[in-house]
Amino acid sequence: MPARDEQDFESRRQQIIDGALQVFASKGFEKATNKDIAAASEVGSPGLIYHYFKDKSDLFRQVLEQRIPMLQLLSHSEEMMTLPPREALTVFATTFLKIVDNPNAIALTKLMLSEAVRRPLIADMINTIGPGRGFAFLTQYLEKQMDAGVLKRMDTGAAARCFIGPLIAFVLTREVFPQPDAQTLKPETMVTTIVEVFLQGMLLEEA
């Protein structure tokens, strides 16, 4: 494919991803139709979507992987494995909380949670795309640091939940169940606090 054609192909592909994000965020996965996505993307015929994506599930996966910062980070997880705990956990937490800066991503997350509770197949699909990968990375990273004698030996699954839990709580108390300080407590402050508290309990020595 000539370079110009490749650029046009990718530009249209990104256009569809942006339109699909809006539709998935407003209607959810099951109720989103190709007609809705084509209209939001301004691509004309709904059938054109299949020129760029295998099916709706493939499009949904691409929307999440390219528009959710956490999944973009996990695409380069091997690089994260080489970082010391304070740096790696700060990058992980900072990227996780970038979701609060994107209204469409927040809306999509809320709908995904709702659909996942009611539809096990959708829950499995979402878990495979996102949460499962994030949890697997974090447990693997913690295990590596424990093996290296940097972090205290303990159950990696429990430790990972202790780190991820406060991140989820911050998003929930800001976007779903807003608390009085929801708009004044900055993500940066939350990241610094979570990493510090976590490492106070985990570090064998400063790393």
Same domain, 201 and 142: yes
67, 101, 118: which is the final residue of a domain? Answer: 67
Arithmetic mean of pLDDT, 48-67? 88
Beta-carbon contacts of 28 under 8 Å, excluding residues fewer than 6 positions away, are 111, 112, 114, 115
Cα end-to-end distance, the chain, whole Å:
48
Same domain, 85 and 107: yes
Same domain, 77 and 48: no
Same domain, 55 and 106: no
171 pLDDT exceeds 90?
yes
pLDDT of residue 207: 46
Copy the structure tokens of residue 206: 């400063």
Same domain, 57 and 79: no
Same domain, 134 and 162: yes
Domain hosting residue 38, numbered range: 1-67
Closest CA to 190 of 207, 206, 174: 174
pLDDT of residue 157: 97
45, 67, 89: which is the final residue of a domain? Answer: 67
CATH number at residue 184: 1.10.357.10
Same domain, 156 and 87: yes
Reduced DSSP (H G I as helix, E B as strand, rest coil) percent helix, strand, coil of the chain, to 5: 80, 0, 20
Q: Tens digits of per-residue pLDDT, 69-124?
A: 888 888 888 889 999 999 999 999 999 999 888 887 888 888 788 888 888 888 89
10, 33, 67: which is the final residue of a domain? Answer: 67
Q: Tens digits of per-residue pLDDT, 183-200?
A: 899 999 999 999 999 999
Copy the structure tokens of residue 8: 């046009």
Same domain, 18 and 54: yes
pLDDT of residue 166: 97
If one compares 125 and 159, the residue with the highest pLDDT of the two is: 159
As for how many domains the chain has, the answer is 2
Q: Tens digits of per-residue pLDDT, 139-169?
A: 999 999 999 999 999 999 999 999 999 999 9
**Cα distance between residue 41 and residue 25, in whole Å:** 14
1 pLDDT exceeds 60?
no
Same domain, 30 and 120: no
CATH number at residue 10: 1.10.10.60
Same domain, 125 and 201: yes
132 pLDDT exceeds 60?
yes
pLDDT of residue 75: 82
pLDDT of residue 2: 62
Same domain, 172 and 82: yes
pLDDT of residue 174: 95
pLDDT of residue 205: 64
Same domain, 96 and 161: yes
